[in-house]
Amino acid sequence: MQGVNMCPECGVPEYITSEHLWQESGFIVQKRDQRHILTFIENDNLNALFLGVEDILGTSIERIILATRRRTGRAYMDRIIPKQVKELVQRRELELPPMVTTFFSIGSVLGYGRFELVDYRYQQDDDDYFVIRVEKPYSMLLGSVDPAAAVEALIGAEMGFTYEEISPEVYDIRVFKEEHEEEYKGRLMMKHYQSGGGDVALRSCSTCGGPHALSYYDWDLERGLINNKFNGRRMVFFAPSVLDAVFGELERELGESIPDIVIEAQRRFARNFYNPADVVDEDRFRTALALRGMGNLRRLSIDRGGLDLLLGNAVMHLLVVGLFQGFYEIAHGVESTVEWSISESGDLEVQVSPSRL
Ligand SMILES: [Zn+2]
């Protein structure tokens, strides 16, 4: 893909390592505004988690996911696009297609699939529209709302969208002017993560300074795919605040059982997706969690008698609880129970014990 430089040593797009920072805290932060954090996670996890929660709840959570993702997507793009560029676009002094193509190349390096602007009208009235084709979106739900969020950030107006599958895994997304539902205004609050410091020491690429372990992944920029070179699993960069806000809103609407449901959905995902070879030692888990921006592993022991974990600066802690409960069960082939707590400062403690039959 044009315009994206790759590090000659580790093969990672420069955008990834120049716009983001892997901190000793175990966070991945957006360099332009370090209050905003990202995770680098298995794409199947996102989709399986949403489906798993819907399955257990017996109800769709789509509208909450869409409203939340649109808000965070717009905020992310707002920080990326310089103010002068937005002003030029909104005064119609800058052609839209090259700008939009730049966005799409960002989506591509983040692993979101291949996007293409196939048609648009921008006259700054209510008939404006954009048709964006996406191939292999990382999630149909999230992949359809992202272009709408990017257009919103660029032209500074609220947009709605529809999508249509035109061939297998290829969708046309039509984005048009539409006021957002009042329902969520002033809600869907984003959690702000506060770093408590840390001692994560990821080995760096000596050329670009990014984490060396990113060289285990292959960026297919033409198709917008990031795949693990060893097991083929697809990865994406994703804002954890989306999941936190979705689960927070579900808890407000549906009650306090939501954390248990999320943990259970994640445990089921982990048991289906991973295998015993994925249950590695403490050091490798420390690197894996930090590379994913999920926190600073301080303590981990797993044996037949149970699992004990302390994760500083825990990100998406409900997922971590379900994930490690799943890892314990995979490693020892038993059912289990889990107890956990998280402190104000983000220290997550998890204890998994074998179920007594
Ligand atoms: Zn590099």
Query: What local confidence, expressed as pLDDT, does residue 189 receive?
Result: 59
Superfamily for domain range 256-354 = Trafficking protein particle complex subunit 3 (3.30.1380.20)
- The pLDDT of 47-63, averaged and rounded, is 91
* Sheet with 306-312, side-by-side order of all strands: 296-303, 306-312, 348-354, 336-342
- The pLDDT of 266-295, averaged and rounded, is 96
Q: Give the C-alpha distances (Å, rounded to integers) separating 49 from 164, 259, 270, 275.
A: 24, 12, 10, 18
* Structure-derived torsion over alpha carbons of residues 38, 44, 46, 48, reported in degrees to the nearest 10: -160
Query: Percent of the chain at pLDDT above 90?
Result: 61
The 10s digit of each residue's pLDDT in 13-30 is 999 999 999 999 999 998
Banded model confidence at residue 244, pLDDT cuts 50, 70, 90? confident
- The pLDDT of 170-184, averaged and rounded, is 83
Judged on CB neighbours under 10 Å (0-12, 13-18, 19+), 220 is middle
Q: List residues, by chain if needed, whose CB lies under 5 Å from ion ligand 1.
A: 7, 9-10, 205, 207-208
For the record, the structure tokens of 19 come out as: 């716009």
Query: Percent of the chain at pLDDT above 70?
Result: 96
Cα of 217 from ligand 1 centre, angstroms: 12
Q: Residue 220 pLDDT more than 60? A: yes
Banded model confidence at residue 191, pLDDT cuts 50, 70, 90? low
Q: Residue 295 pLDDT more than 80? A: yes
Q: Which residue is associated with the tokens 């030692």?
A: 281
Cα of 244 from ligand 1 centre, angstroms: 31
Kindly report the average pLDDT of the chain as a whole number. 90
**DSSP-assigned letter for residue 211:** B
Banded model confidence at residue 184, pLDDT cuts 50, 70, 90? low
pTM for the full model?
0.90
Cα of 204 from ligand 1 centre, angstroms: 8
Cα of 22 from ligand 1 centre, angstroms: 13
The 10s digit of each residue's pLDDT in 127-152 is 999 999 999 999 888 888 888 888 88
Cα of 13 from ligand 1 centre, angstroms: 8
The answer to which of 10-14, 76-80, 197-201, 288-292 has the lowest mean pLDDT is: 76-80
> What HEC string does 64-83 produce?
HHHHHHHHHHHHHHHHHCCH
Cα of 315 from ligand 1 centre, angstroms: 25
The answer to which of 105-119, 246-260, 267-281 has the lowest mean pLDDT is: 246-260
Cα of 257 from ligand 1 centre, angstroms: 44
The 10s digit of each residue's pLDDT in 68-97 is 888 878 887 888 888 898 899 888 888 888
Q: Residue 187 pLDDT more than 80? A: no
What architecture (CATH level 2) is domain 44-184?
Answer: 2-Layer Sandwich (3.30)
- The pLDDT of 291-295, averaged and rounded, is 97
The 10s digit of each residue's pLDDT in 92-114 is 888 888 888 888 888 899 999 99
Domain boundaries, the chain: 44-184, 256-354
Cα of 287 from ligand 1 centre, angstroms: 17
Decide if 89 contacts 96 (C-beta within 8 A): yes
Distance CA(250)–CA(262), nearest Å, equals 10
DSSP codes, 2-30: TT--B-TTT--BHHHHHHEEE-TTS-EEE
Query: What local confidence, expressed as pLDDT, does residue 38 receive?
Result: 93
